[in-house]
Structure 1
Amino acid sequence: MKIDLHYIPVRSLVDGYENRGYEGVVGYGGLLDIRPKFQREFIYDIKQRRAVIETILEGFPLNVMYWSLQTDPVSGRTEYELLDGQQRTMSICEFVEGEFSVEIDGYPKNFDNLSIEDQNKILEYKIMIYHCEGGEDEKLRWFEIINIAGETLKAQELRNAIYTGPWLSDAKRYFSRENQAAHLLSRDYVNAGEVDRQALLEKAISWIAGKGDDNIKSYMNEHRLDPNAHALWTYFKNVVDWAKLTFPVKRSYLRSVPWNVLYEQFKDATLDSQALEDRVKTLMSDDEVQKRSGIYTYILTGDERALGLRVFTDNQKRVAYETQNGICPRCGEHFEFEAMDGDHIVPWAKGGKTIQSNCQMLCIRDNRSGS
């Protein structure tokens, strides 16, 4: 890849700036694609954006940015794609457009309220930019490398860089920002992570395609040229709607439940939401249950492993072992301590507690045979 250093004034950068939403963001007289498909959504908070402007006003250097060159196949003119520096570029352009203020001499001021001197200080500030020429694979590889030194890309952001197309553009319309359709629908039932960094999109795809990088990539590759992401949105919406109808009482634990797994198992079952809620309440107050998000899975599947039930401490097990003289009460044979498991004499499901008087040591074979 060929790389050349250039200095561009802010005045030229903000010329023709336009944020077209999901159709993209442009600047530099319409020649610069500020938000290419492989870029993450704009995630700087107001403090970070103001810091960019304050850096410029102080005359301090901003970190170098990278633009890739490309030739328009119709007009033959040279255009640019922002390879790295979206957060700083958007901050500069939005400030000049009057979208936020900075504090100067104790007063918040928009660009239009600045003195002519300060306005010119910003507009004439020189940004250091490397122009990079190379193929698509080279650009994406370079983009990944230069971001390692900054804020490392999340896995889904890198997948977005590879599987661009109309499907991804439509999927991001639902899943890529807070207060969009998917986030508003699911925020009480799904741990969205960093929505701006594609965590909710990643979860939605894993629900329909299966967990794991290979499954997600395979799904995105298969559908990348689809005209829309309606199937993904419909499935996600169906799962969340089912969860809301089945367990309508909101609790923070709901966000850690594998709803897609339960949906596939029980979507056609007739369930009594009130009866389920009564059981949830009972289990929420059971101090034997260590994993409360697993209550919802347990109630439907009966799998006690989902509850993370309390286990006997090493001391409790050692006391029981010595009391039994190392003899397993099931098979009557002697075992070393390490070859035995702590077991509830009265099972939890029948009211047994994890206390010393309810602890016995069984040999591993008997304890795990379920007999």
Structure 2
Amino acid sequence: MDITPHPITIREVVENYVDDGEGGVFGLGGKLNIRPPYQREFVYKEEKRNAVIDTIFDGFPLNVFYWVENDDGKFEILDGQQRTISFSQFAAGHFSMNIDGNLKNFSNLTQDEKDRFYDYELLVYRCKGTDSEKLSWFRTINIAGEKLTDQELLNATYYGPWLNHAKQIFSRTGGPAWGLGEPYLKGQPIRQDFLETALKWISGRDGFNHHKAYMAEHQHDPNANELWSYFRAALHWVEDTFPNTRVTLMRGLPWGTLYDTYGKETFDTDALEAEISALIQDDDVVRKKGIYQYVLDRDPKHLNIRAFSADQRRAIFERQGGRCANGTKCKDPANADGKKVFALGDMDADHIVPWSKGGKTDAANGQMLCVSCNRSKGDL
């Protein structure tokens, strides 16, 4: 890759600055593509954005900028997008800053303040190379900057019409996927969390061992309609099956996998809701977030059922005199009663009436079994 320095002023960069949303972000009189397809969305928080403006007015150097020079003589920002959007938005009057002790929008600046801002010189390196060289360099120079998420790096690799459409749906706060999935998914659309989740779901359905394989297969598709249709179908199933939304318990569950497994089954939604409500109120259910998976697959491991406390174990142990409740197996002829006596540490506390059949985790419903006998039991 050919890399040469070309200093340039902010005045030149922000000429005819435009942020057209899905249409793109451009500067330098339309010659600079500030947000090319492989770039992330604008993610700087107010503190970092303001630090860029402070640096400019203080006359301190910003980090180096890298632009790619295309064959048509136009440019793409390879590194420096977040800083460029920060000072471009300020010049466009999108936010105010404390300048020399006064809160000012750009239009409120004196002419000398505007000139100080406009005449600030950026150290820009222009780069020429192939697409693969650009993407490789993009990864390299971002190692020391704002860390890219795994999905952002995959976006840099598999960009194209499919990704552009997918990002329109999944990568906007307030966008279509956010509107449907916000109660059920963790993360931020702008950091590609919603897109990554949807891709993992559909990749599991299609048998890919990693969602990058799905992206590679569909990179040149004209749109991401398949992904969007699947995502909607999965979450509409969730809405229909569990109409009472409990965000804290539902957000982040593997809804795509559950939809693939149970989406064609018929459930009594009223009965499910009654059971879910009862489980939420059950003190023995430690992991409430596992309730939704449990009512579908009936595996109690999702619930982390409350174990007997140390005091309860000791009380039950004393009540049994150290004998295993399974008296038919654990015998010792040397003892008068013919039963083997164990140390407390060699025994497990167990429910007499299993939790799954209504038994509670209290001393009255507890029994001590030797480790061997308890391991041979299967029901909670």
Match of 1:267 in 2: 263
Deviation at 1:27, TM superposition (A): 1.6
Deviation at 1:275, TM superposition (A): 2.1
> What does the per-residue CA deviation read over 1:105-155, in whole Å, with 9 as the maximum and x for residues that have no partner?
665422222111111111100112222333333322222222221221111
Q: Determine whether 1:141 maps to 2:136.
A: yes
Q: Secondary structure at the match of 1:256?
A: coil
TM-score normalized by the length of structure 1: 0.89
Match of 2:213 in 1: 218
Deviation at 1:264, TM superposition (A): 2.2
Match of 1:130 in 2: 125
Residues in 2 aligned to 1:264 and 1:307: alpha-carbon distance in whole angstroms = 22
Match of 2:161 in 1: 166
Q: Secondary structure at the match of 2:123?
A: strand
Structure 2 unpaired stretches of 5+:
332-339
- Compared CA separation, residues 56 and 285, structure 1 to 2 (3 A): same
1:187 to 154, 157, 182: 182
Match of 2:31 in 1: 31
Q: Secondary structure at the match of 1:210?
A: helix
Equivalent runs, 1:270-349 vs 2, <5 Å: 270-313=266-309, 325=322, 327=324, 329=326, 331-332=329-330, 341-349=348-356
Residues in 1 aligned to 2:345 and 2:96: alpha-carbon distance in whole angstroms = 66
Residues in 1 aligned to 2:243 and 2:103: alpha-carbon distance in whole angstroms = 45
Match of 1:84 in 2: 79
Q: Is the 8 A contact 2:325 2:367 kept in 1?
A: no
Q: Secondary structure at the match of 1:234?
A: helix
Deviation at 1:166, TM superposition (A): 0.7
Residues in 1 aligned to 2:38 and 2:343: alpha-carbon distance in whole angstroms = 58
- Compared CA separation, residues 147 and 328, structure 1 to 2 (3 A): farther
Residues in 1 aligned to 2:277 and 2:316: alpha-carbon distance in whole angstroms = 33
Match of 2:222 in 1: 227
For residue 50 of structure 2, what is the amino acid of its counterpart?
A: R
- Compared CA separation, residues 146 and 316, structure 1 to 2 (3 A): farther
For residue 150 of structure 2, what is the amino acid of its counterpart?
A: A
Equivalent runs, 1:96-115 vs 2, <5 Å: 96-104=91-99, 107-115=102-110
Residues in 2 aligned to 1:291 and 1:35: alpha-carbon distance in whole angstroms = 43
Q: Determine whether 1:360 maps to 2:355.
A: no
For residue 143 of structure 1, what is the amino acid of its counterpart?
A: F
> What does the per-residue CA deviation read over 1:60-113, in whole Å, with 9 as the maximum and x for residues that have no partner?
2222222223323xxxx3x32211111110011111122222233665422222
Structure 1 unpaired stretches of 5+:
none
For residue 32 of structure 1, what is the amino acid of its counterpart?
A: L
Q: Which moved more, 1:233-242 or 1:345-354?
A: 345-354
- Compared CA separation, residues 359 and 141, structure 1 to 2 (3 A): farther
For residue 172 of structure 2, what is the amino acid of its counterpart?
A: R
Q: Secondary structure at the match of 2:125?
A: strand
Residues in 1 aligned to 2:322 and 2:375: alpha-carbon distance in whole angstroms = 17
Provide the identity percentage: 44
Deviation at 1:238, TM superposition (A): 1.1
For residue 7 of structure 2, what is the amino acid of its counterpart?
A: Y
1:198 to 192, 212, 215: 192
Match of 2:335 in 1: none
- Compared CA separation, residues 81 and 321, structure 1 to 2 (3 A): farther
Deviation at 1:2, TM superposition (A): 3.7
- Compared CA separation, residues 359 and 68, structure 1 to 2 (3 A): farther
- Compared CA separation, residues 5 and 279, structure 1 to 2 (3 A): same
Residues in 1 aligned to 2:199 and 2:141: alpha-carbon distance in whole angstroms = 27
RMSD of aligned alpha carbons: 2.6
Residues in 1 aligned to 2:36 and 2:343: alpha-carbon distance in whole angstroms = 64
For residue 331 of structure 1, what is the amino acid of its counterpart?
A: K
Q: Which moved more, 1:9-18 or 1:102-111?
A: 102-111
Residues in 2 aligned to 1:342 and 1:165: alpha-carbon distance in whole angstroms = 59
Q: Is the 8 A contact 1:320 1:361 kept in 2?
A: no
Q: Is the 8 A contact 1:43 1:196 kept in 2?
A: yes
Residues in 1 aligned to 2:349 and 2:129: alpha-carbon distance in whole angstroms = 63
Q: Is the 8 A contact 2:203 2:209 kept in 1?
A: no
Q: Which moved more, 1:288-297 or 1:162-171?
A: 288-297
- Compared CA separation, residues 8 and 368, structure 1 to 2 (3 A): farther
Deviation at 1:317, TM superposition (A): 5.1
- Compared CA separation, residues 98 and 370, structure 1 to 2 (3 A): same
Residues in 2 aligned to 1:331 and 1:175: alpha-carbon distance in whole angstroms = 60
Deviation at 1:324, TM superposition (A): 5.9
Residue-pair matches, total = 365
Q: Which moved more, 1:258-267 or 1:175-184?
A: 258-267
Q: Secondary structure at the match of 2:210?
A: helix
Q: Secondary structure at the match of 1:352?
A: coil
Q: Determine whether 1:351 maps to 2:346.
A: no
For residue 272 of structure 1, what is the amino acid of its counterpart?
A: D
Deviation at 1:370, TM superposition (A): 2.4
Deviation at 1:292, TM superposition (A): 1.1
Q: Is the 8 A contact 1:317 1:361 kept in 2?
A: no
Q: Is the 8 A contact 1:326 1:336 kept in 2?
A: no
> What does the per-residue CA deviation read over 1:215-243, in whole Å, with 9 as the maximum and x for residues that have no partner?
20111111111111111111111111111
